[in-house]
Each structure stands twice: as C-alpha cells, then as structure tokens.
Amino acid sequence: MTSITTHSRQRAHLRGVHVDFDGRSALGGVDLDVHAGSTTVIAGPNGAGKSTLLEVLAGTRDPTSGTRSVDGAIAFVPQRTAISDRLPVTVRDVVTVGTWGRTGRWHPLGADGRAAVAEAMARLGITALATHPLASLSGGQRQRALLAQGIARGADLLLLDEPTTGLDSDSAERIRSIMRSEAERGVAVVCVSHDPVVIREADHVVRLADGVRIGE
C-alpha cells in the first residue's frame, strides 16, 4: 500500500515562471505545484502557453525568469505527430528507449528492463505489434507505443502532450485509463489537453490564457 505521505509528496514546483520568445511573453508569471499520485491537466486555447509550460516542467526549456524545482525522474511523452513516421524502428525499440532512464543508453537490457518493456507493451495492448515498424502503425497505435515508452521509464513525473488528440474513443479511453492507473501507483501525471473527458477526469485543472493562469 502506498502511504498518504508518498501520495501527497510534491514532485514539481514552479514559481513566477516567465518565458519570452524574442521579447514576446509566452508565459507571464506562472505558479504550479504538482503532487505524486495525482493527475493535472493544463488546458486553454491555442497559443495560451500550454506546451511551453510542459517544456519548462520537463526541463527542456529554461524560464526567462522564475524558479523550477523537480523531485524525481521525468518521462516525457510527445504527441505522436511530433515523431517522424520514417524512423526505422520497431515498437519494441521505441518502448525500450524508455528503459534508458533506468540502465543508461546503449547498455544491454537486463531482466528488469525486459520485464518493464513487456509489461508496458501489455498494459497498452501492443504486445502483438512488438516487431512491427513504427511507420506501419495507425495514429492511435503509435500514441500507445509512445505512452508505453513513457511508462517503461518508471518515472516519478509523467508528462504528456495531447495524448488523446485525434484518437477514437476506445484508444482514448485506454490512454486515460493508463493515466489514472499511473496516478494510482503514485506517479505525478501532467498532461496538456483540449479533450473535455481528460479535463473532467483530472484531479487538478490548470487553465491558461495568454500565458497566465485563469479561473482561480
């Protein structure tokens, strides 16, 4: 059983985060706290700063000013459209990359890594696709492979960029169910989404407009 202490543990903490692009403000002083064992959705209109905020959380973009602290390992699941469909890799290759966070790059997979890859593929229902090229998958299957990569990492903070966009309702439900179960396992799940069901099911909703939080 996971203790209440573990579940309420703070995983990420942003204060006064500003991001400017060429002198234009994309984020104008955002505060955010993310806790273990919860789901947080970043919502808002196009251009509101959602992806920029996710990038700051991920550590791939430095704030122009403000502070960021993150406690634990991060897995980032990009939108499937952000990945080239020409990459000559199989589904198992894609999921195996997730274990690099455990083993270090290019190290042979040990039994733990192989088990993590197999479990992640089984949870996403893509075991039968393991040897298929990424390029041969449908959009929904590709998004599942990317999420399997994210959970194979075994991270404390799982960041997802629009994971259900363009998926049919069964595929979207599978993705939502994995997000819920990861949170139940104690992971802090943060996702950018326009999907009303994802937003309704979230423990916390951060609404952005023009780079600032609204509705609080």
Ligand X SMILES: Nc1ncnc2c1ncn2[C@@H]1O[C@H](COP(=O)(O)OP(=O)(O)OP(=O)(O)O)[C@@H](O)[C@H]1O
What sections of 60-160 are H helices per DSSP? Answer: 91-97, 100-103, 111-123, 139-152
Residue nearer to ligand X on the CB measure, 20 or 119: 20
What is the C-alpha separation between 160 and 150, in angstroms, rounded? 9
The answer to whether 179 and 193 have CB atoms below 8 angstroms apart is no
Minimum distance from CB of 152 to ligand X (Å)? 26
Minimum distance from CB of 94 to ligand X (Å)? 23
Minimum distance from CB of 29 to ligand X (Å)? 14
What is the C-alpha separation between 176 and 168, in angstroms, rounded? 12
Between helix 139-152 and helix 111-123 the angle, nearest 10°, is 140
Among positions 18-57, residues that touch ligand X (CB under 6 A) are 21, 26, 44, 46-52
Residue nearer to ligand X on the CB measure, 44 or 163: 44
Our finding on whether 166 is near ligand X (CB under 6 A) is: no
What is the C-alpha separation between 35 and 58, in angstroms, rounded? 15
Minimum distance from CB of 213 to ligand X (Å)? 13
Neighbours of 213 (CB within 10 A): 20
* Type of residue found at 149: Q
Among positions 83-122, residues that touch ligand X (CB under 6 A) are none
Residue nearer to ligand X on the CB measure, 24 or 200: 24
Minimum distance from CB of 174 to ligand X (Å)? 23
Residue nearer to ligand X on the CB measure, 154 or 163: 163
Two tokens, residue 187:
């992971």
| CA distances to 23, 50, 142, 185 from 39, in Å | 33, 15, 22, 12
Beta bridge partners of residue 12, listed in sequence order: 34, 70
Residue nearer to ligand X on the CB measure, 44 or 63: 44
Residue nearer to ligand X on the CB measure, 51 or 171: 51
Minimum distance from CB of 81 to ligand X (Å)? 11
Which residues make up the interface to ligand X (CB under 6 A)? 21, 26, 44, 46-52
